[in-house]
Structure formats: structure tokens, C-alpha cells
Structure 1
Amino acid sequence: MNLGLSPQDAAFRDEVRAFLDSALTPKLRRAGTLMTSVYCDHDAQLEWQALLHRRGWAAPSWPTEHGGCDWSVIQRYIFTRERLLAGAPTSPLGINMVGPAIMRFGNDAQKAFFLPRMLTGEHFWCQGYSEPQAGSDLAALAMRAVRDGDDLVCTGTKIWTTHANVANWMFCLVRTTTGPRRQQGITFLLIDMDSPGIDVKPIVMSSGEWVQNQIFFDEVRVPLANIVGHIDDGWTVAKYLLEYERGGTAYAAELQVKLDAIRRNLAGDALLDDPLFTARLAETEIEVEVLDAMEAEILAALGDDRAIGADASMMKILGTELQQRVTELALDAAGPMARAYQPGVAVPGGPIVGYPIVLDDYCSGQPWQAIAPLRYLNERAGTIYAGANEIQRGILAKAELGL
């Protein structure tokens, strides 16, 4: 997207660049540039969040009354793009997920307690949605929560939970009653991960990283005060949050940075002279530009607190499928050097199980050639999480085509 920056926005861009240049240490740049997962290394995330909090930039899309920046859509776009260009880490999950849900549906006590701790990184969140029999069909969730006095007693399991091994809080959907419609009787709950009865088991990803987890709840007691919204009406909160997860993620800026890197640095002269590869690269660049324009409209709607409905599904489909295509291009550009499994040269989002990670480990080519297959493996999950793209196409068919 050609922003055509106003003098004020150009000055803001320069301010962001100056901050990034002074705040990013070599360690943080490495963590952001060489990350292989959806989220970067946990320690680097917390260190980066602390820097942003001190600068007052911990939550770009939050209103100022809750400690956010209340930036315009263009300012948020500028910050995201400059952060990616500088190699800065990602922010913790809670900022763009449960934070907006608490601001919209939480009570004053919840806002006062949770939001400041989210900004500082004291509370590091994970998402308790999917279950073994309830993934894209989220309404099929079965984890029970039975009221006992001032508590809900929770029993069941959640799966594919990112960073549950390091999180100290979870926002979770539980079933409090069973009715004729599966979406009824679901409650949105905030759970302290140090509560007795919680057991976190690792799920090792195809890249070798321990980022995903399965969590078992054995009669875990959670205060009723931790219900967001109303009991049995958690589906309303979940739908709002899913719009943020599917539509609030800006894919285009990161994709543009990666495509620029492929064209300038990754693909050698032989590939750039290959008409088939350059055609694929150009086609992907054009589609990313289209996504960029659509994201600007959707992010503007979210910024005005307007529902975006089925547009979130369209954005999720395009964004995740383009993510996969970009990693396929990078893998082709890496060539035979991408065949060796070399996670030591990267900064994974979690421990590599059974592999002794050593910083600056030997790499058979350039670092990007070793990282390309790891990112490729991680992006395979993109079309599944936050509701599989097949489900999103069904939503679009019903909402837009009346099928």
C-alpha cells in the first residue's frame, strides 16, 4: 500500500525508527529476525514488551484510558512495518487477544487488575479454546465447569495451546450448561495457570519446537469473579475475540518484508532469471498488495469498534495461504542448503526437544537458508489455527452467497 504519508505521519515514522534504532539490542534483533515460530522466544518477548511499556507503546491499538496508544490505522501500520524491518520481536498474545475482550465485556475490577499486568508482561497469556474433539468446530467443546459456591470447578482438557508451558494465565472457554444449541451454555473464563489440578504436557511440532501443549484440568477451582461477560454467554465474547484473531492480524506488512528479502537477498541471479520463479514471485507480490488494501479497511473498522463479520474470515484465508506461499518461495530460493535440519542457527519460539541448541551453531549455508525449512514447517499450521480455512470458506458461503 502506498501510504502517501502526511508530514505528521512521516514524522511519526521517523520517531519509530529512532526508537527502534536505540532500543533494539543485538540479542533482540536476532530474536526477531531469526524467529521460526508464530511467536518469538519467550524471554525476548518479555524483554521487548518491557521496553515498549517504558516507552508507552505497549498496546498500539488500545485506547489511552487503558494504557494504550490509540494510534490511527496508518500509525499502527507504520509501526508494524518498521518493527519488522528492524527485526524487533513480537508482542505477547494477550495484548491483541484477551485484552480487547476484557475491555469490551469485562467489569471494572477485571479491567483494573488484568490490563495493567498485561501491558507490563507480568501476566503472560495463553488461549484455551481447542480440545481433542473441538477445533475448528469450537462449539463442540466439552470441558466442564460446575458451580460450587463462589467457584467454577473445571474438568477436561485443552490442546494445541501455544506457550502454555510458560504462560501464567489462560483465557478459556468452558461448558457450564448443555442446551439445544451448542453455542449456548459456554462461559468465557480467566484461569490462573498456577491453580492446583493443572497439568501441562508438551506437543512437539514438526519443526522440533516445544511451543504447543495439551493441558489437563482435574477439578480446578476458578473464582466466579474471573468470568468475563455473563455465565453461559461466553460465545458472544468468543465471537468478538475471534474477529480480532482472524481479522485483527495484519499479515501484509510482514509478507511484504519477506518478499522484499527474497527478491533482494535470498534468490540468486539464476532464480531471478528463471521466468517461472519470477512469475510466482510477482503474482504473490500482487496478491499481498491486494491483501494490504483490504487490511487497511478492516483494521479501520476494528479501530472504530465496528463488527467486521465475514470479512475476518476472508482476511484469515488470504493471509495464511499467502504466508505459506511466501515460505514456499523462500524454500525454493534456499535450494539444497535447506535440506539439513539446523535449528541451532535460528531463534525458535520454544525449546527444540532432543536437540542441544547452541547460538551461532554451524550452518551449511547462509542463516536464512537454514531457517527457511523451519518457517515452512511452522506455517503449515496457519491454515488450521483460528478456525481452519475450510470452515472460513463455509462462513463466507453462508454469509455472502446465502448458500
Structure 2
Amino acid sequence: MDLAFTPEELAFRDEVRQWVRAHLPQAIADKVHNAQRLTREDMQGWARILGKKGWLGYGWPKEFGGPGWNAIQKHLFEEECAMAGAPRIVPFGPVMVAPVIMAFGSPEQHKRFLPGIASGEVWWSQGYSEPGAGSDLASLKTRAERVGDKYIVNGQKTWTTLGQYGDWMFNLVRTSTEGKQQAGISFLLLDMKSPGVTVRPIKLLDGECEVNEVFFDNVEVPADQLIGEENKGWTYAKYLLAHERTNIADVNRAKRELEHVKRLAQQNGVWDDMRFRDQIALLEVDVIALEMMVLRVLSAEKSGKKSLDVAGLLKIRGSEIQQRYAELMMLAAGPFSLPFIQEAMDAGWQGHFPGGNVLNAPLAANYFNMRKTTIYGGSNEVQRNIVAQTVLG
């Protein structure tokens, strides 16, 4: 196993680096590097820029309009975007539902839905979790009843990330109560502007409304928006969750935020505290180890070998690292990390360092937000059980 990049891969990285730095708006990069609030237009504006280049669907095969990159190229693209300060691509459209539509959708669904995802014009949301169905997703209760050429949907989803911006939602719904719970689930594509859809934002500890509740009251969904076969949605959902097995580690953002930790430590006078430096060093070692694990998976995929089934391990380590760097940032900034008043931040009360960038964002708010990372995507406790069963049998 060779984890070194080839000359061709290094040339590809340079090409991506130059393009991203030439086309990424500086105002957006400054927000990302300084943990400032991103608006919908910040995120979707960058998506449209990538869409014009044909890179928003960077994991797509050429037959569906993607660049046809291999696993290493996709990783290098993600790394260069992260290090340049690009917003993370909102994954629900191009990374999550698009591969499901490609694999299980009809040719008509390909033509109808994929172009809007590839261009960045259509914002997709994920309708999975419910108040009583999170890690135990198979127990979901949102109901879809077939009536003629449409489904009538009733129920509720929760923790819908950025759902307040959604144009469309891919939705797991129960279409049968017979047999095993997993056997009665279907995969529907739902227009969030439909009558009967209500989105209610949930304000989190960091003051943001990043997640939402979504209610369905007799929402009519045309039957031709069912993906694949009725009652086979659990199969499609598993495909979606496994499609990007290294993405959940978020190692490229971890590498960028590690540099942010170092800058904050230097700017706030704690860089010379050897105990604090020890914690930064330990974090850096773990980030490098996580990257090596990701590269091992990518090396196996590139060579055509069976990919290492380490999605659970990547999720556990990646989420814990996110919490650690958020905590170190807050500790480095001290009192400057506490307030989350956006107007005060915009006015620059925190002070500035050379270059005009904001010195300290509300890092305590970011710390609170990162408490969720070990819960979403399957709680780490559940992931450890899965890893143990895989290893021990």
C-alpha cells in the first residue's frame, strides 16, 4: 500500500488549488477562516460557482455530467477547498440524494432532478430523523398512503439540517406496517413548497437555527416521485449513508481548523504555555492518524480492492476531533470567545490582527454546537457497538 501521491495527482492538486483560489470570493473565505456566520447566499453562491465549473457533483461519474474523478482526486479536491476557506458543500443534494437517484431512479427522474442539483440552483434537505426515530431510524412513523397516482404524507421529521432553506426533501416514509420495520419504508422526493408542509426552526445553544422540525399535514406527493420500488426505501437509505464512507470523518476541515487553533494560541498569548502546546500536539497527531486511515481507504478504492469497512471508526474519531479543536479554540481565546452577539461581531469589537481579519469569533458558541457531532449520523455509542460486532463477531 502506497500512501504517497503520484506526480499526476500532485499536478491535479495544483490545478484545483489555483482554480479554487481564483474563484472563491475572499469575503466568504474570510468568514470561514474566522468562524463567522455563513448565510444561505454564501453557501449557495459557492455551490453555483462550482456548478458552472462542473465540480459541484465532484463525485459523479461522467455519464451523469460529473468529472469522473477517482477517490484520490475527490479527496484532494475536498482538501484544497477546505484549506482555501471554502464553505463545506451542503451534502444533501450532490453527495447524498444524487447517487441514489442515479442508482435507483428512472431515466425521467435523472433528467428532472439531477441538473438542478449539479448547478447548485436547487437546495435539498434530508427527511430521516423523527422525534422517536433517531439512531433507531427503522422505527420511523411518518406515513405515506397511496391514493391513485399520488401519496398522502402525514407525520413529522426533526433535526432537519438547514431545512429552512430547502426547496426539495428526500424523505423516508412508512408505506406498510407488515413484517419487519425496515420492510415497510419507502423513499420519496417531496417538494417542500407543497401545501401542508410546515418548517419550524429550532434555535440551538449557539444562537443559530441550524436544524428544524418539519411537519406534513396531508401533503400530496405525485407517485412518480417515488424512488425505486415501494417498501424498498431502507435499501436505498443504506446505500445513501454508505456512499461516501470517508466524508463523515471531515479530516480536511480538521486540518484547516488545527491551523486556526495555532493562530488563536499565538494571538492570545498561550502559545508559550507548554501544557497548552502539548494539547495542540496531541490533536495534530490524531488528525494525522485520521488522515492516514482515510488514505488507506482511498488507496484500497483506487486499486480496485475491497474498501476497508471503517465508516464507524472514521465517524467516531472524526467527531471527537471536531469537539477537541472547538474546545481548544475556546480555551485559547478565553473571555473573547464568550459573546455571540452578531451585531457586535460585525462591528469588530473583538479587535483585529494584521490583514484585517476578525481576531476572535464567538468560539464558545461553536463549542456548544460541536457537542452534537458525537450524536448525529449514528451516536458514537451505537457506532462502537457496530465496530465491536464487526471485529469480534
1:78 aligns with 2:76: yes
Alignment of 1:44-123 (within 5 A): 44-93=42-91, 94-123=93-122
1:4 deviation in Å? Answer: 4.1
Q: Does residue 1:19 correspond to 2:19, yes or no?
A: yes
Structure 1 residue aligned with 2:333 = 334
After superposition, what is the alpha-carbon deviation per residue over 1:153-196, rounded to whole angstroms, capped at 9, x for unaligned? 11000001011111100011000111332111001111011111
Cα distance in 2, alignment partners of residues 193 and 61 from structure 1: 26
* SS of aligned partner of 1:271: coil
C-alpha offsets along residues 37-73 of structure 1, whole Å, 9 cap, x if unaligned? 7xx4211122111111222212211111111122233
Task: Name whichever of 126-135 and 379-388 sits farther off.
Answer: 379-388
Q: How far does residue 368 in structure 1 lie from its aligned partner after superposition?
A: 4.7
1:315-366, Cα deviation, whole Å (9 max, x unpaired):
11111111001111111111221122343476xxxxxxxxxxxx44433676
Q: Which residue of 1 aligns with 2:382?
A: 391
Residues 268, 333 of structure 2: 8 Å contact kept: no
Correspondence 1:3-402 to 2 at 5 A:
4-35=4-35, 40-93=38-91, 94-244=93-243, 247-268=246-267, 270-299=269-298, 311-344=310-343, 359-363=346-350, 367-402=358-393
Matched letter for residue 373 of structure 1:
A
The answer to whether the 8 A contact 2:56-2:120 is kept is no
CA contact (8 A) 2:249 2:319 kept: no
Q: Deviations over 1:267-301 (max 9, x none)?
A: 45853333322222111111111111111233456
SS in 1 for 2:186: strand
Over 3 Å counting, the alpha-carbon distance change for 1:161 and 1:271 in structure 2 is same
Q: Is contact 1:185-1:232 (8 Å) kept?
A: yes
Give secondary structure in 2 for the equivalent of 1:90: coil
In the superposition, the TM-score normalised over structure 2's length comes to 0.91
CA displacement at 1:75 relative to structure 2: 2.1
- Asked if structure 1 preserves the Cα contact closer than 8 Å seen for 2:185 and 2:232, the reply is yes
**AA in 1 matched with 2:22:** S
Mapped to 2, the partners of 1:66 and 1:292 lie a distance apart of 29
Conserved 8 A contact 1:284-1:325? yes
Q: Which amino acid aligns with 2:25?
A: T
For 2:320, give the aligned amino acid: E
Alpha carbons 2:150, 2:220 under 8 Å: kept: yes
**How many percent identity over aligned positions?**
39
CA distance in structure 2 between the partners assigned to 1:211 and 1:66 by the alignment: 31
How much has 1:3 moved relative to structure 2?
6.3
Change (3 A) 1:75 1:246: closer
Kindly tell me: are residues 14 and 297 of structure 1, through their superposed partners in 2, closer, same or farther at Cα, counting changes over 3 Å? same
Q: Report if aligned partners of 2:36, 2:361 keep a CA contact under 8 Å in 1.
A: no
Distance in 1 separating the partners of 2:138 and 2:305: 24
State the alpha-carbon separation in 2 of the partners of residues 19 and 247 from structure 1. Answer: 24
2:58 is matched by which residue type in structure 1?
P
Specify the code of the residue in structure 1 equivalent to 2:360.
Answer: Q
Letter in 2 for 1:288: V
CA contact (8 A) 1:170 1:192 kept: yes
TM-score (norm 1): 0.88
In the TM superposition, residue 393 of structure 1 has moved relative to its aligned partner by 1.3
Root-mean-square deviation (Å): 2.5
More moved, 2-11 vs 88-97: 2-11
Identify which range, 67-76 or 322-331, moves more after superposition: 67-76
Q: Relative to structure 1, is the Cα distance of residues 145 and 301 closer, same or farther in structure 2, using a 3 angstrom cutoff? A: farther
Give secondary structure in 1 for the equivalent of 2:20. Answer: helix
**Structure 2 gap segments, 5+ residues each:** none
- Does the C-alpha gap of structure 1 residues 215 and 309 become closer, same or farther in structure 2, counting only changes over 3 Å? farther
Q: Is the contact between residue 175 and residue 184 of structure 2 (CA under 8 Å) also seen in structure 1?
A: yes
CA contact (8 A) 2:149 2:223 kept: yes
Residue 32 and residue 274 in structure 1: after superposition, are their counterparts in 2 closer, same or farther (change >3 A)?
closer
Q: Which amino acid aligns with 1:43?
A: E
Tell me which of the two structures has the higher relative contact order, counting C-alpha pairs closer than 8 angstroms and 6 or more residues apart: 1
The amino acid that maps onto 1:397 is A
For the residues of structure 2 that align with 1:286 and 1:150, how far apart are their CA atoms?
56
Matched residue, 1:354: none
**Does the Cα contact within 8 Å between 1:131 and 1:158 map onto a contact in 2?**
yes
Q: Counterparts of 2:303 and 2:107 in 1: how far apart (Å)?
A: 21
- Per the alignment, in what secondary structure is the counterpart of residue 19 of structure 1? helix
**Matched residues, number:** 387
1:123 Cα shift? 1.6
